[in-house]
Every structure is written in structure tokens, then in C-alpha cells.
Amino acid sequence: MRTAKLAAMPGDVEKLHSKIERAVADRQLMESAATNIRNLLAGAPSDFYSQVVNELVAADAWPELNDRFYLTLSFGTGGLRGRTIGRIVTKAERGDTAQSAVATGRPQFPCVGTNAMNFFNISRATQGLVAYLHDWNKHKKISAKPKIVIAHDPRFFSDEFSELAAKVASENGCDAFVFDGPRSVPELSFAVRHLKANAGVVITASHNPPHDNGYKVYFGDGAQVIEPHASGIIAKVNAIMSETFTPLPKDRQGKITTLGKEIDEAYMQRLETLILDPQIIREAKSLRIVYSPLHGTGRVIVEPMLKRLGFNFEVVPEQDHFDGRFPTVKSPNPENAEALTGCACDRRHYTNEVADR
């Protein structure tokens, strides 16, 4: 559910701005944060943002407001990354999940702020990426619409961010191919090349804590963007300061296509061709593998591939389901010993939540 669908609530805008000005004068709120708050509220698609800011102002939560607004999240070579759940979660952000959020850690809405991973910054990033792809196609004299593939991990709000990215891309004249559930970075890379797309996006924060999320961009070769594309995309995204835009006329918009098992199968068939010595695998019946996806996307491909290749393996059942909390590990990074704490076996094979290692 997007924030724009919330029913508008009355708010005393003048009173709010007066409190913000007083906080700046008292050096409780940074001037840059105050400016970003004003700009965000001025272009807000609903009164939801003002509800959140009002709550934080009423609670004198100036450190939280400074953290959320002191800058606008910048797009870099690694894309975007930041908190999607605030240190303080307001009543408006908890929304209808006020009770369940205590158990799951997931409020109904991502945290409001220009320095956060939320609908505001997902829209900005996608608008900028698509604008660059249009320019690139024009430069290369390609008349077809740009195409992007979008994948996401099981983190909080990843599916909503993925849907929004597809919507923004299509309304700006780009065809979008979106996976029907969590998928790994390597599969996204394969899909970009398999579908001959111009770029790919993965909504993920890799090894970061559960309260974070991110937006990674890959170009037509399936790799993360490098020059000259990196600088071009960064400039386009960072020049956009609003989540709102005027959609193109329907006949100029792109299509949204859902991807599923057909891409999984094509990817696994391609993986089978990479085996250097199939005979060794056929003879490795005594090899015992204990696998864990650490609640992440690796399970989608790794488990059926191990079975297809005939390996003798078992899966850690407590970690064989998607969960953005990563509740059974201290860290979702298999490169850290903390991720392996509590393991019953001496030898296990792990992948992280986006299977990007």
C-alpha cells in the first residue's frame, strides 16, 4: 500500500513550520534538514509525510529528524543504500500493523525522510536511471524503448520498492521485467543478458542490518555500472529532487512483464553448461553438503541445482525461508563468523541473502 493512498488528515502547516524554524534557531535542527523537510512536504503526494514529521516534532525527536533529513540520499557507483526503518518509528509509519510490527519488526510504511530508503528515493533513482537509458539509446540511435529487469531480496519493503520501480519505469517510457518473488543478484545479471535488456535493478542492502535496504544498478552486460555509465546515471539521479512526475501518454509508456520459473529454468540450464568436469560430480556421492540460504534468495536456485546435479545435501530448515529479519543469525553476512554462530555442523555451505558471493 503506497502512502499516496492514505486518507488525508488535517494538519496545521503554519504551526509545524514555526516549530521547525524555532528548532533551527535553537540549534536543535540543522538548516539543511529544515530545508529538506520543507521541500519534501511541499511536493508530498499526501498528508502522510506531514503526519510523520508532526509526530517527530511533537516528541522533540530532533536527532531523528536530523538523521532523516540532513541530506538527500545520493546515488553513487553502488546505487543507493540507507535505513528503511527509522530508529524511531512513528504511529503513522506503524499504520495498520501497529500490533504485528512489534513481532515482525516491519511497520506498514518505510521511514519518511530524504536520507532514507523509501518511496521518495526509489522514485528518484528510477526516474534518473530511465532518463539516462533514453539518452543512451538516442546516442546509439536506438529507436526501441529501453528495457530494464528488476529483482529484489526478502528485506522489508523490497517487494513494494520493486513494484514501484517498475511502475515509474513504465510511466517514463521504459519496458520493465519484474520477478514474481525474491531472486539473487547472479540471476538478475543472467536475466539482463538473456532478455537483452539495457539495465537491471536489484532492491537489496546485501549484508546490512535488517533495518536497511538499497537500490543497485547493473548495465546491459549484467555487471554493476562502470564508466561512462556510472557518472551519467549518478548525475541524472542526483538532479531529481522530487518523487512526483507527469507520466507519458499511454501510447508512449512501457509495458510491465512478470518473470517467473521460465527464467529460473533458463538460468539453471545455463549453469549446467559451466560444469568443467561432470564426471567428478557423478563420482562425488560420498560428498555431504549442508546448505543454508540464511533466509535469503539463494534457496531459489541453489537447492534445485544441487538436486539436479545429484549432490547429497541437506538444508538448514530454520533458515530455509525468506525472512527480512534474518532472525536466526547475528549477521546476514556469511563472511562473518557471527553468521555461523549456533551451527550444529562443522562444515556448511552458506550464501548471503542476495546470493551475490
Query: Distance between alpha carbon 115 and the CA centroid of its chain, in Å?
Result: 15
- C-alpha 328/C-alpha 295 separation (Å) is 9
203 has which bridge partners? 152, 215
Instruction: Assess contact for 265 and 318: CB atoms under 8 A.
Output: no
- Which of 317, 350, 312 has the alpha carbon at shortest distance from 333? 350
CB neighbours (10 Å) of residue 33?
A: 24
206 flagged as catalytic: yes
Q: Which of 50, 170, 206, 292 is catalytic?
A: 206
Residues forming the active site: 206
